[in-house]
């Protein structure tokens, strides 16, 4: 497996030089943050990003992500132009030598939490999601002003319009629109040498009346069946999928791994705190609801050799920064993951 960490570009308070000092990390997951959604990500931007990363002795392994325009998810007549642009972006990734593209198909909000500073007894804090807190937020009346992380992204009018459109859509149409998209982009990804991995919905259930479809094992299998190509794969995210108790993560890894459709892995832990509620947790299995070693063993057993990164961490040791993406706790997480990996590999070699 290729051990990577996410980097948000020149504005990230965490530097590439710092990431390089984390033992075992050889790759970077990043994106072009300047191109508006729906436009072509220029080759020059990706090539420049790659050069910045390689100058620090790291590889640019994954672009996470190129957002899918809402018109594509809505199936509007304008989608074809946006899909053309998406295909061109994929070609540019291929030309720049980036092997993996992580994307998602969530309507309106591509991640949702109700608290970005959930406190722990030890003074650290993390992100959390409480179903009842979310129910108190009236998006139609007040826009996203009280939705953490989203208050400045949409104007109230734009948000209201999007919500109306998606609520009228339903999940069947979302599936149709995802299939339409995949049938167009996957052949381009395949010929460009880019493997795509769809990220599960986070959290993996319908929120705010919006249709969400990338939630469980059945959905992931349905997606890879839409286009039978190694380029049409999954980003296995243990934190997203793990928030739903019924998701058997090692089994999901075994099933997708047997078909060679895991194209990227995010590993983090979550602690389920109630019905459709959770807080993010340190990476250790014993501190959350996910059996991280079981997932790692399934990855090793399936022969997965693609990129893997630690996912959100807590804020610890006084660090301030982008929610979930401080240096310190993610570094602890990535060391833990590599310990699991070493253990799983030696177990696999000696016993399995
Ligand atoms: Mn993730």
Superfamily covering domain 2-107+170-267+292-350: Divalent-metal-dependent TIM barrel enzymes (3.20.20.150)
Whether 199 is a known active-site residue: answer: yes
What is the per-residue pLDDT for 91? 98
What is the per-residue pLDDT for 144? 74
Whether 146 is a known active-site residue: answer: no
The b-or-e profile of 292-320 (16+ CB within 10 A means b, else e) is bbbbbbbbbbbebebbbbbbbbbbbeeee
Q: Show Cβ contacts of residue 80 under 8 Å, excluding neighbours closer than 6 positions.
A: none
Q: Work out whether strand 2-6 and strand 27-30 pair parallel, antiparallel, or are unpaired.
A: parallel
Q: Which of 69, 118, 283, 312 is catalytic?
A: 312
User: Which residues are placed with Cβ below 5 angstroms of ligand 1, an ion?
Assistant: 237, 266, 311
Cis peptide, bond prior to residue 203, ω within 30 of zero: yes
237's enclosing H/E stretch is: strand 232-237
Question: What are the extents of the domains in the chain?
Answer: 2-107+170-267+292-350
What is the per-residue pLDDT for 351? 59
pTM of the model: 0.93
Rounded to whole angstroms, the Cα distance separating 262 from 46 reads 24
Task: Give me the residues of the chain with pLDDT under 50, please.
Answer: none
What is the per-residue pLDDT for 352? 54
Span from the CA of 83 to the centroid of ligand 1 (angstroms): 24
Q: Which of 118, 125, 199, 283 is catalytic?
A: 199
Rounded to whole angstroms, the Cα distance separating 313 from 5 reads 12
Whether 177 is a known active-site residue: answer: no
What is the per-residue pLDDT for 142? 74
């Amino acid at each position: 497996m290729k051990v990577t960490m996410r980097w948000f570009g020149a504005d990230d308070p965490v530097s590439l030089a710092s990431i390089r000092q984390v033992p075992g990390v050889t790759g970077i997951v990043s994106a072009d943050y300047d191109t508006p959604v729906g436009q072509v990500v220029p080759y020059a931007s990706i090539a420049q990003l790659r050069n910045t990363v390689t100058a620090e002795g790291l590889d640019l392994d994954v672009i996470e992500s190129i957002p899918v325009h809402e018109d594509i998810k809505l199936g509007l007549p304008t989608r074809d132009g946006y899909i053309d642009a998406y295909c061109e972006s994929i070609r540019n990734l291929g030309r720049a030598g980036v092997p993996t593209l992580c994307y998602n198909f969530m309507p309106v909000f591509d991640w949702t939490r109700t608290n970005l500073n959930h406190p722990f007894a030890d003074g650290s804090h993390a992100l959390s999601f409480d179903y009842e807190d979310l129910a108190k937020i009236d998006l139609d009346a007040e826009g996203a002003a009280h939705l953490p992380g989203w208050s400045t992204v949409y104007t109230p009018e734009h948000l209201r319009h999007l919500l109306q459109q998606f609520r009228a859509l339903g999940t069947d149409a979302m599936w149709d629109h995802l299939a339409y998209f995949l049938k167009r982009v996957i052949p381009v990804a395949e010929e460009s040498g880019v493997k795509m991995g769809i990220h599960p919905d986070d959290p993996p259930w319908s929120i705010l009346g919006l249709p969400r479809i990338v939630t469980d094992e059945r959905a992931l299998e349905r997606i890879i069946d839409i286009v039978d190509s190694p380029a049409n794969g999954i980003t296995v995210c243990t934190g997203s999928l793990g928030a739903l108790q019924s998701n058997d993560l090692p089994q999901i890894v075994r099933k997708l791994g047997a078909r060679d459709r895991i194209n990227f892995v995010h590993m983090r832990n979550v602690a389920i705190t109630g019905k459709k509620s959770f807080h993010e947790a340190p990476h250790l299995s014993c501190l959350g609801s996910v059996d991280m070693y079981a997932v790692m063993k399934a990855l090793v057993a399936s022969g997965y050799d693609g990129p893997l990164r630690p996912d959100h961490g807590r804020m610890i040791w006084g660090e301030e920064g982008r929610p979930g993406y401080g240096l310190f706790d993610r570094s602890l997480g990535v060391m833990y993951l590599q310990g699991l990996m070493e253990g799983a590999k030696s177990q696999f070699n000696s016993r399995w």
